[in-house]
């Protein structure tokens, strides 16, 4: 279970999930989360790069599995948003020392 408290220690959560589920992971979502605090805490899905997820740590953990993992982007409004999200993920991967192959056509 991922609670708001555990979201603040996302490196431990990422490592735990990948360690426990690694043998079964074949695809991973690249979703970002924005945490808003106030009278109530709200966790909202936002485009990658607009929230608090450490994609460098996420991608390094997935890369440690030693095999190709399909990365999925979804719930974005248009092609430009997908392009921006993909660029952000590629930048984070590069900064983390994780090599990503080029995109594959949907044909």
As a whole number of angstroms, the distance between CA 65 and CA 17 comes to 12
Q: Which two tokens stand for residue 33?
A: 């989360």
Summarised one tens digit per residue, pLDDT across range 41-64 is 788 999 999 998 999 999 999 999
Structure tokens at 21: 């589920």
Task: Please give the Cα distance from 48 to 81 (Å, whole number).
Answer: 9
The predicted model scores a pTM of: 0.85
Please report which helix (H) or strand (E) contains residue 7, including its range. helix 4-7
Please tell me the total number of residues recorded for the chain in this structure: 107
**The tokens of 11 are what?**
């490196």
Q: Tell me if residue 54 falls in helix, strand or coil.
A: coil
pLDDT at 105: 66
Domain edges within the chain: 4-95
């Amino acid at each position: 279970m991922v609670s708001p408290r555990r979201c603040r220690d996302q490196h431990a959560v990422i490592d735990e999930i990948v360690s426990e589920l690694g043998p079964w992971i074949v695809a991973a979502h690249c979703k970002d989360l924005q945490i808003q605090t106030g009278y109530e805490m709200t966790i909202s899905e936002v485009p990658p790069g607009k929230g608090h997820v450490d994609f460098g740590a996420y991608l390094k953990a997935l890369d440690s599995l030693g095999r190709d993992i399909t990365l999925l982007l979804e719930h974005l409004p248009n092609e430009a948003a997908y392009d921006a999200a993909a660029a952000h993920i590629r930048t984070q991967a590069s900064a983390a020392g994780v090599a990503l192959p080029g995109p594959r056509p949907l044909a």
